[in-house]
């Protein structure tokens, strides 16, 4: 079970809202969120309501100033929705595809991959099928850049998914590294 507390102002000041599950729209609880504490579990925070826009992975810890995330390459100064990431204790398995609709070269992953270019000689990843576990996808090699949370399911077109990613044009939606979400959430 996860628990996160959001605060309207930096440094855990102002009104707060405690959450232990998905929250598609925080605007009914607070006007803005500029700091938070993750007491247990892992969450994905989103810059827009209904789990849209840029995403940021949050594990146990304190986040006193959401604007500081800019230093990590994230243009993220407010949280409007969040999703709790359920614990997964089994195996991890995902197939990544070079082209949309599961076309082109296919590789199967069961562990983290810091660069699909270096490991598989794939220049692009435009679709995937997550069979087991929960994953974080990164737009750049070595787990850098914008992130997207992938739970089990089929993802036929990252380009089409890009419409929900604030600041990313449709043509630029691609991922170059992937990481399993597992014991990071304890």
Residues 69 and 128 in one domain: no
Report if pTM > 0.95: no
Express each pLDDT in 63-79 by its tens digit: 998 776 644 555 556 78
Which CATH number goes with the domain that contains 10?
2.60.20.10
How many Cβ atoms are within 10 Å of 18's Cβ, its own excluded?
11
Find the domain containing 51 and state its range. Answer: 3-85
Beta bridge partners of 150: 135
**Residue 65 CA neighbour count, 13 Å, CB half:** 5
Residues 69 and 98 in one domain: no
Evaluate whether 50 touches 141 at the Cβ level (below 8 Å): no
Express each pLDDT in 98-107 by its tens digit: 999 999 999 9
Residues 112 and 76 in one domain: no
Last residue of a domain, one of 30, 50, 85: 85
């Amino acid at each position: 079970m996860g628990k996160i507390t959001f605060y309207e102002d930096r440094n855990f000041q102002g009104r707060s809202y405690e959450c232990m599950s998905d929250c598609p729209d925080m605007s009914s609880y607070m006007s803005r969120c500029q700091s938070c504490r993750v007491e247990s579990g892992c969450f994905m925070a989103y810059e827009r309501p209904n789990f849209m826009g840029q995403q940021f992975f949050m594990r146990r810890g304190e986040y006193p100033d959401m604007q500081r995330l800019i230093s990590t390459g994230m243009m993220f100064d407010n949280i409007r929705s969040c999703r709790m990431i359920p614990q997964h204790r089994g195996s991890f398995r995902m197939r990544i595809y070079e082209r949309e609709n599961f076309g082109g070269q296919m590789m199967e992953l069961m562990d983290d991959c810091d660069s699909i270019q270096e490991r598989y000689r794939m220049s692009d990843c435009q679709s995937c099928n997550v069979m087991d576990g929960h994953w974080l996808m990164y737009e750049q090699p070595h787990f850098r850049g914008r992130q997207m949370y992938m739970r089990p399911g089929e993802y036929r077109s990252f380009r089409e998914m890009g419409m929900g990613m604030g600041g990313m044009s449709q043509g630029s939606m691609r991922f170059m590294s992937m990481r399993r979400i597992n014991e990071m959430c304890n």
